[in-house]
Amino acid sequence: MDPMSSCLGFTSAGVPRMLRGGPLVNRQCSNRLIPRHGIVMGARKEKKEDANSGFYKNTVNLPSTNFSQRANAVKTEPEIQKFWADSKTYEKLSSENPREVYSLHDGPPYANGDIHMGHALNKVLKDFINRYQLLQGKKATLIPGWDCHGLPIELKVLQSLKSKERKDLTPSALRKKAKEFALKTIESQKASFQRLGVWASWDTPYLTLNPEYEAAQIEVFGKMFLEGYIYRGKKPVHWSPSSRTALAEAELEYPDEHISRSIYAAFSIVDADKSKNELVKKHSDALSVAVWTTTPWTLPANRAVAVNPAIVYALVELEGRVLIVAKDLVEAVGHKLEKDLVVIGEVTGNDLAGLHYEHPIQDGLKCKILIGGDYITTESGTGLVHTAPGHGQVGRCDWPGLRSIFV
């Protein structure tokens, strides 16, 4: 590096340090000419005095455009959407594109209020898919829809009424008010979705309250019935006393502060003397099945105890009673009860199936021991499962045996 370069203060990359603070000025290398505060500050000071201070700015080539540096979406988005609507961009692409038809049917939201973030995410993601298919040259359409029936809409209507109005409301009057509310809400949600810029066939949505839609549902149901897919059976249906209507499983919620303490319980077997197993017969006067449940508030609805035929069960003595517990869980149960359980024999799940026990709460009610499935394990509890079908679907249990407890 020559003396002049050293004096001017070049970096290791060969870039003049003075450029960082202002233009490079030709001057002699002299300590007298360099300010005490450094060459950069000196350059900044000279910038005000140099007539060529704008020289480097004029050498930068920037594009000249009227495009705003700010999005100003509140103003521009409606303008863009109006342009799409006036040009019928969606309609033309979905009908004139050269490739095959692609139809995306909307899983309908409830017409029970304004849209929320979940609605927005759902529709925008579908819009992504549809626009991609349009860009691929397909005749892509998004068919929007609304679910106009059900508890969410009825609750909204009931909340808008006074106590006396709710009391005097007939089912037909409630349905009429629910329809009016749903149609009004549909228009509100539709406007919100359109404001999000979602492309869809907004003028021809499907509504579950349309007679044509309901007729199509009945037709499909009739075909299913004729094909043998529809049958009459028994299953628990959750009921809301306050809303006076059935509840779906997804509509059940427990309060955050709810605490359900687990308990161990013993149910006395009443017909052990009829068992084919000699050990069960021998202890028929004191024999009980031991169960463990995390929902003790379901015990009044107990209708069966389920056992696993693949599990070996032990008969253990406890304070004058003989309890039936899974062999692999004897030690764990004894630890929980803080008692020493003495094993006096072993039986299988099949040896217990068909026996009856006395209901723990309802006097005179005899319930059955059933064969369950592989959901009954020895990981926790007692290896015997308290069954209360009125509190939920018991699809994993032996249905022929379970049906008998409803008779």
For residue 115, CA distances in Å to 105, 156, 170, 211, 218 come to 19, 14, 29, 25, 30
Specify the 3-state DSSP secondary structure of 358: strand
Does the pTM exceed 0.85?
no
> In the chain, helix, strand, coil percent, each to 5?
40, 20, 40
d(C-alpha 307, C-alpha 44), whole Å: 89
Looking at residue 18, its pLDDT comes to 41
Contact 189, 109 (CB under 8 A): yes
d(C-alpha 240, C-alpha 93), whole Å: 48
Give the other-Cβ count within 10 Å of 371's Cβ: 19
d(C-alpha 243, C-alpha 73), whole Å: 43
DSSP string, 262-280: -EEEEEEBS-GGG-S-HHH
Beta strands in 144-237 (DSSP E): 145-146, 206-207
Residue among 5, 7, 15, 51 at smallest CA distance from 33? 7
Alpha carbon 129 to its chain's center: 21
From first to last of its 407 residues, what are the pLDDT tens digits of the chain?
A: 444 444 444 444 444 444 444 444 444 444 444 444 444 444 444 445 555 666 777 788 877 888 877 888 889 999 999 999 999 999 999 999 999 999 998 989 999 999 999 999 999 999 999 999 999 999 999 999 999 988 889 889 988 888 888 888 898 999 999 999 999 999 999 999 999 999 999 999 999 999 999 999 999 999 999 999 999 887 778 888 877 778 877 777 878 887 778 899 999 999 988 888 888 888 888 899 999 998 888 899 899 999 999 899 999 998 888 999 999 999 999 999 888 888 999 998 889 988 999 998 998 899 999 998 888 888 989 999 999 887 766 543 444 444 444 33
